[in-house]
Structure 1
């Protein structure tokens, strides 16, 4: 539910209002700072992150973080709610997720373990208020953390989520919703005290007098302080190194293994040591000591007899400048906070390779490719295309304007453009500048001020399935290594896109078939106001077996039915159609007889699928309803005064088990102004939840939902229920509102 009202205790509401008012002037996401910092401090965590779930979005956005580098968590800045990562599981399943260490992470979340192969513990929990999921909280602890959360840590986590939920709810209710920015905001580490000038100078003198080299890195890995001895040991000046990343400023530290040591220290919060060879023959030992604010590094000369398995960068095996990129993927890329290093690229690509194995639809593939390739290579725009019926189709994009997409959408496959030619030739094209592009294609037009392009063919099973277009807003000299890496990467994308196109085709066919099996419209029956909703499960490509129906029997009588056939496949849909037909054929008989006849039919068919069903006979003249259930969730009855009860019906066996089963009938009064709610279990079942408690919660939502008409009431009820996205199961809902007689009579 988004923006639902919640009655808060007076003290709690005042506190929320005070915090909101004090932070609103500085940007609404600052509301999240104090609870996050408090949770990190009270729990002893080393880092904390808040992810928001904007209204209508199916992705979690990293919004505020502290204690960790943005470079390291970049692969998780936007995550699908349906994804298999701890914070997505926590929000989707509304539970706390605890991962005690890297071994457990590798077992439960192999993709995350591959991209973060370090020792750390993690807890994630949903941020919610009054049934609305607003996002999730993640806290990290050092790798030395015990295997279980302590009660204090658990309480800090829960309290923070509760506080954040109230703040986000209040912000939305008062017209100031907190939305994620284009990039996560970083809260600097808090220091318990700030040294005075004299103390700072004394500390500087102390470090300078040491015979070893001393160096400090911030959480991003940049050098914030180093002594002259440290600069002399590594062969540079203090001015050259201050503010730089060591593996960018020192060519002999450019092997990704050295940046990996820094990442291990900053994430695990444990000391890390390694030895490196400063060419031609000087061995140095580096000892990294991390804390919440950064890393202290001690540099000392090392013995010359180093183990053979350490990276040596010696003359025989040291890559030359021509063999590898200098500052990340491109040698000429400007230095700056966003410039990715070789390790950034490697981890992004590892993350992408694992993520693509889980991608389903084309939009899913686009999101995963854009989320990893664009930050890994500093790319500004990306588009995925396919060919259909002799024309180019853009199936996914990010960074390009609509005008550019409109220009290329629908091009014939005979057009002389690079995006079309790469489809027909299967040969990638790289253009460092617009002048290069114009020389190859004289009619080329500059779009979106992009200055460099890569056009990569996507080939699966020997056949082209599409192309990948990448663009920079500045000239970009593609190195041979980058060209080879992107060309290989295109093969992974091609396989995922091929599967996704097949998935989407199958998905559309399944949904069209399912829609054809459900009523296209409910009949208009005097004395009844009705509304129905059907929501398909989001994780399946096949057809579900949920159904509903409303049948006009006479001028003052009608019948309603709702049911659920086990499974999500064509067999379930076919059986669902047969159940609907059987109910229609016998409608008008007593409810128990309708179910008994339908049961005998299903037993004879021996379909092997269990089916629940609830049938209701409505007598509008007498304001009564008679009903029988075959193992279906109980209906809800909201009385005219708003009181809502769960109707306990005698439980009959599911259809299709025993041909001789009897289905007892129950009769109720359905006064004008009453609402009868029929639903399938997808509306009330959650993993690990108690279905009876969930039904009681649904009854409470119905009691508090708005007044008729039923169409509005149905939407309000679904909003209040706060269904997860994607759904775990199909959801069918049928609301039946009893209206007053035309002459105004009432019983």
Structure 2
């Protein structure tokens, strides 16, 4: 809870007024308590919270940054462009378990994409009270979409004008519009001591209970308009102010009718205009200006709360203490004037602990009251205030409201009647001296996230994202055991090259990362000095922070070790050590699973490569090129394939995609490829090839289906006869650079309908034209229409050959790369973006074919993957 949003560096991005106005509108059109806008970051694949209304920024720190591939509603909405409505905690747990575990409170939420002109700029989010179901908040969702569209349009205009539409900094944290009544009435008045003339506006006359149009005229008449007990004070206060000695503000006075008013006074010239009195100058009375304020019932309530024996203080939705009675200051050990106007965690640093943070977050999100015990640190310097009471414990209660959270504090040994003096499970547990303790839900969050991690890299990324921030860590290293040596699998936060000397260390090395694994005992060091004393001569980085070395042991088998680093010295309490050790076990099991998966995946990749053609059939008049890229998001082998087969005096061009992934998909792919080759070698008509393959797949009954496109090409005439079974249509690039989607009258996918028919479409492939067959992995992207992907591939195909046909004399240098010299170069260009992508959700297969003119000497076909 330390720190405040915006205190590190000034963010760059859209105008703050645009963002703060958007969240204010979002709360106005919904029943929301909290609103925020996430915008794209200059860092690819990252969204940042740009503005937050209704929550203190530090309380929402774990959600300031969201990666676009994270299972999180903001990320899903940004990727897909589809709004998400979570009416209550049940729906949140069902659809987004990690979010529900991180914010385990009764609330609902709405997420709407901020888009314009086909571009996604970010997401508008609102957190609201829980509803029965999504239908109950449908109208709010529609109104929120209007606000998001307005923001998208404004960002689009800003972008067109060269403005910044991304966000790279801490969020702006603003106070939401007040849900309660408007502030009290305010009236203005003036008094000129030289003429003794008093001037009041209509509101001031109304506040004094005077008839409309009637003015007191003089100071004595003004004094008679207030209660007699205050009448004698008022002239003296005005004279003091005119003499340059204004009283402390505000001044309380009562009208003759008994109404409470607040009076504020200042000189109409001099201090008010910025022209101070010269030193030693005579105190010539100057005109006075002032305001009269009707505070409403709030002032009376504050006065009543001041008399209560319990500590009472109020927080606004930014965590600012806006009221505290004297007893609250006494119990918290902070004078009242140091409480009001400051954030709670700034005014009372010892409340800066996860338990308080978690309950306060719940009170700001949920209507349910919260109660917890907290121990008062008597080790602090108490000389400034009296010892609050005999005993260590305070019972804190939080009562949520629309604009404020009202808090009470009482000694735990004196709890009001009718309340439970102890938390569930007995007496309040004594907290440890650790700087912080991760919330109890953190193991749940990590466990859920680890179930979705497949590879060792993904497991390490989950630990970095979920575990490290919970404990305030800044550095992470994970070593895995291979042949009795430890090898670095992941590092983050350490100086460049610092961990290199520890790569491949044997299990007999005296290092904490080794000994934690060999002994099975976690090692905790409060500071680097403590670490150096335990391991003399060990290399240390520049940090003075604490270190935790955790053994990764799964079912009694050593897997590796995990190192957590912190920027500052700190202690580790017994509860925190227990939690970290338990989390290390979760990480170990996930890493062991990932290692097995990586091994099995390597074998599966070998099987898949063996099933793909090593070389393609050749013809003097036809050049072909094929490419295959495996998916990387999951390591399961896929079922995409391509082939070129001799068919009589022609060539058969084939591409297909078996539904699903895994060894079964690869095996089915191998069977289909063999069947198509057998039919093609017999020079069967295309419709018979597809029909026979369909019946074979139905007879095999593998529980899978497949799409396929089969083209029988006559190299001499260029006539091609094509059939399609649920596959994407081919692309044809004409010699002059025009491209088109070939309109094939296709049939249903293979393996579904034994009576399916596959009509034949005839087309002509001119010399120099290129026919492109591909699978959906090349053109399909999450959140995008597949037609857009096909259109993009058409543009890439047209732009890959700006000059004459590849291999022909005079081929020009294409923009942004070397000259295209063969069809293989074209294939590489069309798959270059996918090849560079770190995460490919699906396999990719591509097959290109072109006819040479009769005078062109034959070239060499390339079919490498």
TM-score norm. by structure 1 comes to: 0.77
Shift of 1:627: 0.8
| CA distance in 2: counterparts of 1:417 and 1:283, whole angstroms | 44
1:331-480 map, 5 Å: 342=437, 345-480=439-574
The answer for the alignment partner of 1:587 in structure 2 is 680
Give CA-to-partner distance per residue, 1:718-738, whole Å, 9 cap, x none.
Answer: 899999996665443445566
The answer for the alignment partner of 1:503 in structure 2 is 597
The answer for the alignment partner of 2:654 in structure 1 is 561
Of residues 211, 219, 242 in structure 1, which corresponds to 2:305?
211
Shift of 1:457: 0.7
Shift of 1:616: 0.9
The answer for the alignment partner of 2:364 in structure 1 is 266
Q: Is the 8 A contact 2:102 2:442 kept in 1?
A: yes
Q: Is the 8 A contact 1:379 1:471 kept in 2?
A: yes
Of residues 417, 422, 432 in structure 2, which corresponds to 1:325?
432
Q: 1:475 to 1:107 in 2, by over 3 A?
A: closer
Q: Is the 8 A contact 1:92 1:724 kept in 2?
A: no
| CA distance in 2: counterparts of 1:580 and 1:368, whole angstroms | 39
After TM superposition, the structure 1 stretch with the greater mean CA deviation from structure 2, 395-404 or 644-653, is 644-653
Q: 1:224 to 1:721 in 2, by over 3 A?
A: farther
Give CA-to-partner distance per residue, 1:636-675, whole Å, 9 cap, x none.
Answer: 44555646345132426625864x8764322112345655
Bigger RCO of structures 1 and 2 (CA < 8 A, at least 6 apart): 1
The answer for the alignment partner of 1:708 in structure 2 is 800
Q: Is the 8 A contact 2:559 2:588 kept in 1?
A: yes
Give CA-to-partner distance per residue, 1:21-58, whole Å, 9 cap, x none.
Answer: xxxx9854336872574255143343334445668956
* 3-state SS, counterpart of residue 639 of structure 2: strand
Shift of 1:621: 4.0
Shift of 1:570: 1.3
Shift of 1:378: 1.7
The answer for the alignment partner of 2:14 in structure 1 is 30
| CA distance in 2: counterparts of 1:145 and 1:50, whole angstroms | 25
Q: 1:38 to 1:580 in 2, by over 3 A?
A: same
Of residues 700, 713, 737 in structure 2, which corresponds to 1:618?
713
The answer for the alignment partner of 1:156 in structure 2 is 144
The answer for the alignment partner of 1:570 in structure 2 is 663
Q: Is the 8 A contact 1:603 1:656 kept in 2?
A: yes
Q: Is the 8 A contact 2:329 2:335 kept in 1?
A: yes
Of residues 185, 189, 198 in structure 1, which corresponds to 2:171?
185
Corresponding position: 1:482 with 2:596: no
Q: Is the 8 A contact 2:87 2:133 kept in 1?
A: yes
Which consecutive residues of structure 1, in runs of 5 or more, have no partner in the other structure? 1-24, 331-340
1:537-548 map, 5 Å: 537=631, 540-548=634-642
Q: 1:550 to 1:123 in 2, by over 3 A?
A: farther
| CA distance in 2: counterparts of 1:438 and 1:741, whole angstroms | 78
Corresponding position: 1:306 with 2:412: no
1:49-128 map, 5 Å: 49-51=36-38, 60-62=47-49, 64-79=51-66, 81-127=68-114
Q: 1:595 to 1:420 in 2, by over 3 A?
A: same
| CA distance in 1: counterparts of 2:651 and 2:659, whole angstroms | 27
**What do you get for the CA RMSD once the two structures are aligned?**
4.7
Q: Is the 8 A contact 1:247 1:258 kept in 2?
A: no
Q: Is the 8 A contact 2:780 2:789 kept in 1?
A: no
Shift of 1:117: 1.9
Shift of 1:507: 2.9
Aligned length: 692
Give CA-to-partner distance per residue, 1:122-147, whole Å, 9 cap, x none.
Answer: 12244556666665443222336984
| CA distance in 2: counterparts of 1:713 and 1:53, whole angstroms | 33
| CA distance in 1: counterparts of 2:787 and 2:451, whole angstroms | 39
After TM superposition, the structure 1 stretch with the greater mean CA deviation from structure 2, 113-122 or 350-359, is 350-359
Q: 1:438 to 1:257 in 2, by over 3 A?
A: closer
Shift of 1:352: 2.1
Shift of 1:399: 1.0
| CA distance in 2: counterparts of 1:94 and 1:238, whole angstroms | 49
The answer for the alignment partner of 1:648 in structure 2 is 744
The answer for the alignment partner of 1:48 in structure 2 is 35
Q: Is the 8 A contact 1:613 1:654 kept in 2?
A: yes
* 3-state SS, counterpart of residue 453 of structure 2: coil
Give CA-to-partner distance per residue, 1:598-655, whole Å, 9 cap, x none.
Answer: 4465456554533322111233443332112233333344555646345132426625
Corresponding position: 1:668 with 2:763: yes
| CA distance in 1: counterparts of 2:715 and 2:474, whole angstroms | 63
Q: Is the 8 A contact 1:374 1:380 kept in 2?
A: yes
The answer for the alignment partner of 1:16 in structure 2 is none
The answer for the alignment partner of 1:18 in structure 2 is none
Give CA-to-partner distance per residue, 1:226-275, whole Å, 9 cap, x none.
Answer: 34354246554225645464699497x7997655442222123x473658
Q: Is the 8 A contact 1:35 1:160 kept in 2?
A: no
